[in-house]
Amino acid sequence: MNKALFVLLVLLTTQFYSQNKFDLKTFLLEIPIVDGVVGYGGSKKSIYDKSIGVPDCTIDSQGKSIKERTFINIGSQNISGGEDLLDRINKYLERVKGAILIKSESDIDKCLEEKNYGIIYYCQKHYPLKGDVSNIDRWYKKGLRILQVHYGKHDIPNLTKQERLGHSGYETKGLTKLGIDAVKRMMDLGMIVDVSHCNQKTILETSEIALERGVPILGNHTGAIKAKDIFSKDPSNRDRVMCNHLRLWTDKSIKAVAKTGGVIGVMLYPGWVSCESTFRDNYTLSANVEQIIAHIDYIAKLVGVDHVGIATDGYLDGTPALEKFGDTKIDTPERMYYIAELLLEKGYSRNDVAKILGGNFLRVYRKVL
């Protein structure tokens, strides 16, 4: 082979591989990514960029959009507290650039086509029902699209007979009569039912109703109670359960929601990712991306990759809930990048990663809304 031909072949080969070399950042910018639960703006104590999403969703302090900075297209925005918050946030969104409120499947399409940041209203602590589930209709008209059945022992207003819908980890009962009616009302309206903080009995009973109606439900921010520290640098710890706490889900709960076609979102809140192996409320203040992947991997192996997603349960700027910081990967704006990177290294395909980072949540949103 003459020298000129050899040089040409080398150039062509180099060009071929450079054109076909996988670039993770480009990949994440091209696929839809959904954060199952996210705080809209930065927190007051943020050590990162508080400008992300507040008040301009088209640009942050680095001159990047939310998608360019965080890779996220759609966030399920937690709006608990008083019902008046819905009205106030609606007025606020009228002044925010580059954001769209998602109420239907067509809004999802518009959000992705126009490359705006999509917001879905989600309520963990439901507003006053006063024993009448028809109040849910009013919330729906104001834009609420995801509602959690029960929050927990700190949600004092919703523990009364006129408000109680279900029960959480420290309790043994399931759905109340009012809760059954509320779940059915949500499904009639086209509202997504979430059971993240609920106990196993409440989850199973809600899943039964969902199965009867052919409707998927969510556990949009939780984790697996049996997930083990498979990436531990100490081999003796790799068979250790990371967080044996009642806030996390049993295999039965995970399987029940998956059976409805639903999704279990792994939260990035460090306190419940890796904690003391106890049922007490003492836990470590940090966690790492490897431990997040351990929860994802456990759920994917248990029920399939179609039923697991990501919920940062923090802010767009990377700040985790309650300021419980992680490893400077899971608590940064670019957290989705680090999760995707490790999933690929673990052997998950690009298609799997696309599902976990957003495709699975989108499937449920599109079916129900």
What percent of the chain shows pLDDT beyond 70? 88
Give 220-273 pLDDT, tens digit per residue.
999 999 999 999 888 998 998 998 888 999 999 999 999 999 999 999 988 788
Quote the number of domains for the chain.
1
User: Cβ(46)–Cβ(316) under 8 Å?
Assistant: no
User: Residue 100 maps to which CATH number?
Assistant: 3.20.20.140
Give domain status of residue 326, yes or no: yes
Encode pLDDT of 293-343 as tens digits: 999 999 999 999 999 999 999 888 888 776 667 788 998 899 999 999 999
Given a cut of 90, whether residue 278 has pLDDT beyond it is: no
Q: Spell out a b/e string for 88-112, using b for 16 or more CB atoms within 10 Å of the CB, else e.
A: ebeeebeebebbbbbbeeebbeebe
Q: Please indicate, yes or no, if residue 274 is contained in any of the structural domains.
A: yes
Is 277 a domain residue?
Answer: yes
Residues 175-205 have pLDDT tens digits of 999 999 999 999 999 999 999 999 999 999 9
- In this predicted structure, the answer to whether residue 16 has a pLDDT above a threshold of 60 is no
| Residue 15 confidence (pLDDT) above 70 | no
Most distant CA pair in the chain, distance? 88
- The pLDDT assigned to 287 comes to 83
23-65 tens-digit pLDDT: 999 999 999 999 999 976 665 666 677 788 777 888 888 889 9
- The larger pLDDT score, comparing residue 277 to residue 11, is at 11
In a domain, 23, yes or no: no
| pTM for the structure as a whole | 0.91
Q: What is the C-alpha to C-alpha distance for residues 133 and 129, in angstroms, rounded to an integer?
A: 6
Which candidate, 138, 135, 159, 147, places its Cα nearest to that of 37?
147
Indicate if the pLDDT at residue 284 is higher than 60.
Answer: no
Predicted confidence at residue 18, as pLDDT, reads 44
In a domain, 225, yes or no: yes
User: Residue 276 pLDDT more than 80?
Assistant: no
Helix (H/G/I), strand (E/B), else coil: 140: helix
Other CB atoms within 10 Å distance of the CB of residue 114: 10
Q: Kindly state the DSSP code that residue 115 receives in the 8-state scheme.
A: T
Instruction: Report residue 80's pLDDT band, with 50, 70 and 90 as the boundaries.
Output: confident
Does residue 111 form part of some domain?
yes
pLDDT digits (tens, 9 = 90+) for 99-156: 999 999 999 999 999 999 999 999 999 999 999 999 999 999 999 999 999 999 889 9
Give domain status of residue 3, yes or no. no
Report whether 34 contacts 362 (CB < 8 A): yes
pLDDT value at residue 2: 58
When pLDDT is averaged across residues 352-362 and rounded to a whole number, the result is 98
In a domain, 24, yes or no: no
The average confidence (pLDDT) of the chain is 89
Which domain does 348 fall in, by range? 31-368
Band (pLDDT 50/70/90 cuts) for residue 280 is very low
The reported pLDDT for the residue numbered 136 is 98
In angstroms, the Cα distances linking 133 to 40, 153, 186, 188, 213 are 28, 22, 9, 12, 18
